[in-house]
Amino acid sequence: MQELDPTILQKANAWLDGNYDADVKQEIQTLLDNKSYTELTDSFYRDLEFGTGGLRGIMGPGSNRINKYTIGAATQGLANYLKKKYPGEKVKVAIAHDSRNNADLFSRITAEVFSANDIYVYFFKALRPTPELSFAVRHLGCKSGVMLTASHNPKEYNGYKAYGADGGQFVSPDDTAVMDEVAAVSSVDDIKFNRVDANIEEIGEEIDELYLDAITKLSVSPEAIKRQKDLKIVYSPIHGTGITLVPQALERFGFENVILVDEQITPDGNFPTVIYPNPEEKEALTLALKKAQDTDADLVLATDPDADRVGIAVKNTENEFILLNGNQTGAMLINYLLSAWEEKGKLTGKEYIVKTIVTTNLIERIAEAKNVTYYNTLTGFKYIGELMTKFEGKQTFIGGGEESYGYLIGELVRDKDAIVSSAFIAEMTAYYKDKGSSLFEALIDTYVQYGFYKEKLISLTKKGKTGAEEIKEMMEKFRTNPPATLGGSKVATLKDYEKGIETDLLTNTTKKIELPTSDVLQFITEDGSIVSARPSGTEPKIKFYCSVNGKLANKEAYYDTDKQLDEKIGSIMKDLGV
């Protein structure tokens, strides 16, 4: 029979004896009475780590769960950091939340703790998207912001994203400074929960107006939209915050035929119509795809619960709806933006785009052809935001993104933005339709011109303490014993971003990687295939990103070439043992 580790029992008893609410104590006691030792272990085996992006975890009682006290400790630590960073200043923060269960409660607790620490709070009185929170931080001159969300995780999860004064998530050295302050909150008694009403101001529609006006001014092809204003767009917010702004953004851009997925427009943290509220998953778009087929739509858009990521579906040459992956959408957006800017004579040589190291190199080929500077960053949009802040006023950011369905156009925010992206994906569709092409046909044309790049992501879920150990062992094995060949081609280069070293395995020479350290490995073969291995920073997963490429002779060769590249990915993953 399973025994409870004495250290777990000690931590559970500390909560039973501590200054915690009676209902929390009752939940813990019930777990003890029922001998629910696995759940107790997962709830208490560690303190939920405030990482570089904040908190994310399963809701429930315990030090390794999202609850009033872990949210309170995170906020107290962030408040302590802000008071030290800006001594003598009246510090302001903005707070928003998405549609998740308890997100409104956790946002109120966050506001109360800040207010009790004499920090002024702009508090969104109802749910709002993550990008609007970033916009509000910048517009209102805040030193920080907090978004209560667990993005696209299942309904059991919630989370806490912390932002700096530039509207981006914290980066070095501030991220570790915040983490240290949060870690220093060692007792529930260190947390100030007593609300100060005078330090909290509610905001809402007035910020919506400012944000919508600003993104509408970014439109590059208004005349194409005018001619294609009846473009049929099916949109689903998947029970999230996108409903507050996406339909309005599309309307302001000039689209008059937006069809909503009625079953999914009501915000609901139980996400009742989907298994997983993730626009990367075809299942999450089932209702939207059906609506698109029934209405013969041109485009399907679906945003995740906090509306920072967007998935799309388009018709292929067989008139069937297919989902584009994040690499395809990102590449098409960059190609459209650079083409439209070029046509309007807006490219001056000072513009740039940004992608992450695991995002398709097709974007690089497009930027090179257009003579536009491109940058690669580590995975995580905060690094794109950091670069934007660094270049603000010196160079012009056109757009950027990452393969995980997060994109940004323009410099209004410092995080991925599904509101502005949805509007621009619709604008891009109108632009190509105006030229007599579907978005899918335009994608194939892009492959013919720049090379056929195909990517696949494989995620392995490893939950709990044992899962974390397994992921660590896998990374160590790949680090010390890199594969010799992948898909029949020699592995020529190993990039170890944790060590900051790139090794040419053919000559055994090394050079430094000019990026911050991160637990990522990349294997690059002689024929240009790339595999990246990376533990997720927000989920109990290890992710393998595979990218292959080849020439596409003509449009007619698309399906055969697509099949060949698929087989190559399969061969590479088999060699990798994934």
Catalytic annotation, residues:
151
Phi first, then psi: give them for residue 30, nearest 5 degrees: -60, -40
Whether the bond between 173 and the residue before it is cis, its omega within 30 degrees of 0, is: yes
Tokens 């003890």 appear where? 32
Report which residue type is found at 53.
Answer: G
Measured CA to CA, the distance from residue 396 to residue 390 in angstroms comes to 11
Would you say 178 and 170 are in contact if contact means Cβ atoms under 8 Å apart? yes
232 Cβ partners below 8 Å, 6+ apart?
Answer: 257, 259, 295, 296, 297, 298, 299
Measured CA to CA, the distance from residue 62 to residue 41 in angstroms comes to 9
Q: How many residues does the chain have?
A: 578
In terms of Cβ atoms closer than 10 Å to its own Cβ (0-12, 13-18, 19+), residue 266 is exposed
CA distances from 146 to 75, 141, 527 (A): 9, 14, 44
Vertex 510 angle, CA 508 and 514, to 5°: 155
Tokens 């062992």 appear where? 473
88 Cβ partners below 8 Å, 6+ apart?
Answer: none
Measured CA to CA, the distance from residue 541 to residue 474 in angstroms comes to 12
The beta strand positions in 73-170, using DSSP E, are 92-97, 120-124, 144-148, 157-163
Question: Which residues face 146 on adjacent strands?
Answer: 95, 162
